[in-house]
Structure 1
Amino acid sequence: MSVPEKKLLLAAPRGFCAGVDRAIQIVEKTLEKYGAPVYVRHEIVHNRYVVENLEQKGAVFVDELNEVPKDAPVIFSAHGVAKSVPAEAESRQMFYIDATCPLVSKVHREAERHDKDGMELILIGHKGHPEVIGTMGQLEEGRISLVETVEDAASFEPRQPGAQLAYLTQTTLSVDETKDIVEKLREKFPDIASPKKEDICYATTNRQAAAKKLAEKCDGMLVIGAPNSSNSMRLVEVAKKNGCERVSLVQRAADIPWDLLEGCNVIGITAGASAPETLVEEVIEAFSKRFTVSIEEVVTSEENVTFKLPRVLEN
C-alpha cells in the first residue's frame, strides 16, 4: 500500500526573534549565576513549551511581586511592564532584571518623549495585552488613549480640542490592519505625529510577509504558537486573508487538526516569534510518520538581529 505524499513549505523567517531569544537567555543566565529558584513575573514569553522548559531548570513564574521572596532575583517579561512594577520592586529592595524587548523599550521612550513635549498620545494595540498594559503604564493613567480598530480611530476625539497628537503602536500587530488604522487617524488628524521608525517590530513584519507568501502557495497551513501570543494570532489572520482558507494555530504536534488538512497536498508551516524551532521539527516529524514528505523552505528575508544582555549578566 503506497503512502500518500505531502509537500511541506516552511516559512523563513519563522520562530524566535531576537527579543524572545534574549529574554530566554536572561532567565537561563540568571539561573546559572544566582542559582535556583529565579522568579519571573508573568510568562517570560507567550509559549507554554518555553515556560515549562524554564520551570524544569528552576524558574518560578508568578503573577505579582508579592509572591516573590525578598532575597530572590526576579525577572520582568519580554513584553515590558508599567513603571509602577520596578518602582514597587525598588521599594521592597528586591533584585530585579528587566527582560523587556529593546524594541518595546523604544516605544516606552517614545511615549515619555511625546508626553514631555506636551503631545496627546494614542496607542494602537489590543486591550489587555501585557505589552499594551506596560506601554500605557509608562505615563499617568489617562495620558494615553487606546485605539484598537479603524472604527475607534474614526470616532476618536482628543481630550483637549486642538491638541497636538502622536501615535504609537504595539510591536506585534497586523501590519495591514495597523496601516488602515493609521490612515484613518491621518485622514482625521493630518498633523498627527508618527514614530520616527516603525513601531511594529522587524520580526513581526518579516513573519507576516513570509506567511503571506506561503498562503499563496498552500492549500493548508499551520501556525505554531500560543493562543495568547499576539504575533502568532496575527499570522493566522494574515494567512487566511491571503488565500489560504484552511489555517490552524497549533501549540505543538499533538494539536495538528488532521481532519482540517484532509485533501491538502501542499501544507505551509510557520511559527510565531515565541515558538522554538524544536516545535517546528516536532510537527514535521508527525507528518513524516503519516506521509511521504518533501520539504521546501520559502525564504522572504534574512535576519541577523541580536540584542545585548543586561550588564549584570555579561560577566
Structure 2
Amino acid sequence: MKILPRLYPLFLGIVMFNFIRLTTDLAKNEAFWANSMRFHLQALAVTVFMCYVFDYESRYFLDKVKPRLNLSPAAEYFLTFLKLFVMVNLLIFVGDHIGLLHLGNTWVDYVIADVIYIPLLFMYYILLRSGKMEKELQNRILQLEKIKVDQLEMELKFLRFQYHPHFLFNALNTVYFQIDEKNEAPRRTIEMLSDLLRYQLYGGSQKVPVQKEIDYLRTYMNMQKLRMSERLRLDVSFSPSLCEQPVYPLLFLPLVENAFKYVGGDYRIDCRMTDEAGKILFEITNSLPPLPPSPSGKKGIGLENLKRRLELLYPEKHSLVIKKEPEQYSVKLMIEIDAL
C-alpha cells in the first residue's frame, strides 16, 4: 500500500502527456504519437519528472510550510496556481532550449500545455490536500476516543478506590478517641494527618487561593518537625501579600517533601514564597549530608510528576530551576498567575 502512492506521479504524468498528444495530433489530423518517437519519450520523461517534483513539493508544503503560514484556502489555492504556472512554463522554456522538448508552434504549445497541465496538477494538489485533511481528522477522532477511554478508566479507578479514604478517616478517628485526652501530642498529630489527607483527597483539581496552599504546607512542615531531630533548623517565610491569588493545588508539596526527605549535614531547610508582578516565586533549600545516601534502586517520581503537571497546567508560564551543590540542594519555582 505504501508503494502505490509513489506511483501516482507516474500515472499522472502518463495521462497528462497523452492528453497533450491527443490534443495536438488529432487537431492536425495526424496519427497518435506521430513523428519522432525519441522526442515523444523525452517529453514523457520530462512530464513525469515534473509530476514527481510537484508531488514532493506539495507534500512538503502541506506538512511543513502551510501550518506555519496559516493561509486561508483562497490564498493557498492562488499560491498553488501561481507555482504551477511558473513551473510548467519554466520547464517548457528550459526543455525547449536544451533540446529535450520539441515545440512546433511555440506560443500555441505553451497555451495547450498550460490549459492541460495546470488544471490536472491543480486537481492532484486538491486530492493530496483532501487526503491529508482526512488523515488529520482521523487522528483527531482517535485522540478524542483515547481521551474518552482514559477518562472512563480514571472514573472507574476513582469509584473503585473511593471507599478506602473513608475507611482510613474512620480508622484515624477511632485511634484518635482511643488516645487519652492528656496525650495531646499524638492526638494533635492525628489531627494534622487528617487535615493533610483531606486536602489531598478532596481538594480537587481546580484553582484554589494560595493561602490554602500555604496553610497546607505549614501543617505538613509542623508534622514533619515532630519526627525530625531537634537539630533541624527550619526557616520559613511566606509573604503577607499572598492570599487570594489563584493557583492549582499541590504543586509546592513535592519540593517540600524532597527537602525533608534528603536534609542532612547541618540539618537546615530554608523556604520562601513571595509574589512579584503577577508571579509566585517559591524557593526551598536544604543542606545535604557529607556522603550521599546509597542508591536504593528506585527512582522518585515526585519531581517528574511535578514537571509534567506544570507543563499541562502552566504551559510557557512557569520555570523550575534545580541546583545541586556538594553541601546543599536548592529549587526555585516560578509560576505566572492569573488575576482574580
TM bucket normalised to smaller: under 0.3
| TM-score, L = length of structure 2 | 0.20
By percentage of residues, which structure has more helix? 2
Task: Determine which structure has greater relative contact order: mean sequence separation of CA pairs < 8 Å that are 6+ residues apart, divided by chain length.
Answer: 1
Indicate the structure (1 or 2) with the bigger Cα radius of gyration.
2
By percentage of residues, which structure has more strand? 1
| TM-score, L = length of structure 1 | 0.21
